Chains A and B, each alone.
Chain A
């Protein structure tokens, strides 16, 4: 719960950029924020959104660290070069986007890195927003070892065959039978991608496969309602949504 710490609590967080071995075996930058304590702490792998490995995700990671998680954000766009987040994101866009195979490999490497940390509890979730929400679902479906997944308005989870690409060869909704960890989903009812019909379709697939999930739908919110740097920000939905995600992770990563 945000803003519920005791005022006599000591300690803080440790946060910064380091290098890790990515899924391809090459070094990639990663942002790690963790509580400055002995642990054990659950972990959260964060799959960043289409605007890139950006400042929002660093701040997002620090929020999770403040709330008792080891948060790790691998730079999924490392292969597209270095520069400002928007320049690198543009390079990724110009190349047709990052491949699902690359995301899966980098996220698995991040999972292993978190689990190996001396303060890790061994329980790890994965979370992403926008295209990162889709990536979080993708990773949770394809990589064994996660314990929970949070999809925040993941776009293109439901996608017709004609819109599949070499980088994204399979619709994530079709991976639902492979999803074997609890899922929380946050969605804005004014969002067009995913629209309410797509969210309903996704939910039906989860029901049909007997999966454990909880979806929250917010009226008056569209796409990206956590993004306080954008006009899409919706204060009530964002604060309630973060608390719901934190509760979900606390429950499933205990």
Chain B
């Protein structure tokens, strides 16, 4: 870790990685050097299962504006879901 900005949360979910679907048990959120996005730092979202192998990972790199937009839409979707009663 270069920036030392790294958080994680346990989750219940599923993700589709390079080898197909797998149970996602943890999401790691960081802000550090990119592997793909052509900028020095980005939000790094890793949907992983530490009980499997490092390849059990769905990785997303977002710039900060995109991260904020994602959070807003996640919150909106969660609120709508809870209000729907479904």
| Residues in chain A within 8 A of chain B (CB atoms) | 49-51, 80-84, 86-97, 130-131, 155-156, 159, 163, 165, 168, 193, 222-224, 230-232
Contact of B55 among A84, A96, A131 (CB under 8 A): A84
| Residues in chain B within 8 A of chain A (CB atoms) | 1-4, 6, 8, 26, 28, 30, 32-33, 35, 38-40, 44, 46, 48, 50, 53-55, 57, 59
Q: Cα distance A4–B61 when bound, in Å?
A: 41
Q: Is there an interface contact between B26 and A94, defined as CB atoms closer than 8 Å?
A: yes
Interface centre among A93, A155, A223, A232 (most CB of B within 10 A): A93
The residues of A that contact B35 with a CB separation of less than 8 Å are 51, 86, 89
- CB contact under 8 A between A90 and B33, given known A83-B53, A97-B1, A222-B40: no
Chain B: minimal CB distance from A118 (Å): 35
Contact of A231 among B26, B38, B44, B50 (CB under 8 A): B38
Q: Is there an interface contact between B33 and A130, defined as CB atoms closer than 8 Å?
A: yes
Contact of A163 among B4, B40, B48, B59 (CB under 8 A): B4
The residues of B that contact A91 with a CB separation of less than 8 Å are 48, 50, 54, 57
Q: Cα distance A159–B3 when bound, in Å?
A: 11
The residues of A that contact B1 with a CB separation of less than 8 Å are 50, 92-93, 96-97, 131
Q: Cα distance A193–B8 when bound, in Å?
A: 23
Q: Is there an interface contact between A93 and B28, defined as CB atoms closer than 8 Å?
A: yes
The residues of B that contact A156 with a CB separation of less than 8 Å are 2, 4
The residues of A that contact B40 with a CB separation of less than 8 Å are 222-224, 230-232
Q: Cα distance A163–B4 when bound, in Å?
A: 8
Interface pairs (29), CB distance under 8 Å: A49-B2, A80-B54, A82-B53, A83-B53, A84-B54, A84-B55, A87-B55, A89-B35, A90-B28, A90-B46, A90-B48, A91-B57, A92-B1, A93-B28, A94-B6, A94-B50, A96-B6, A97-B1, A97-B6, A155-B3, A159-B4, A165-B4, A193-B3, A222-B40, A223-B40, A230-B40, A231-B38, A231-B39, A232-B40
